Structure 1
């Protein structure tokens, strides 16, 4: 189960990183519209 668990862990980390990036971009767009 090493390969399967590792793959799941990597996908979860990727989703977390994507969520952080999307939040950062959302804040950038919000600040741009505020200005």
Structure 2
């Protein structure tokens, strides 16, 4: 996931970080679910 120092990647390839996007989508979905289910 830490490819910012990899000079062999093109800018497009460096920005096309599906693994990181998938991780953060899952994290935010779980966070939203926790907020919805938390009794305040």
Q: TM-score, normalised by structure 2?
A: 0.55
The CA RMSD over aligned residues, in Å, is 1.6
Looking at secondary structure, tell me which structure has more helix per residue: 1
Unaligned stretches of 5+ in structure 2?
1-7
Point out which structure has higher relative CO (alpha carbons under 8 A, 6+ apart).
2
User: What number of residue pairs does the alignment pair up?
Assistant: 29
Runs (4+) of structure 1 moved beyond 3 Å? 2-5
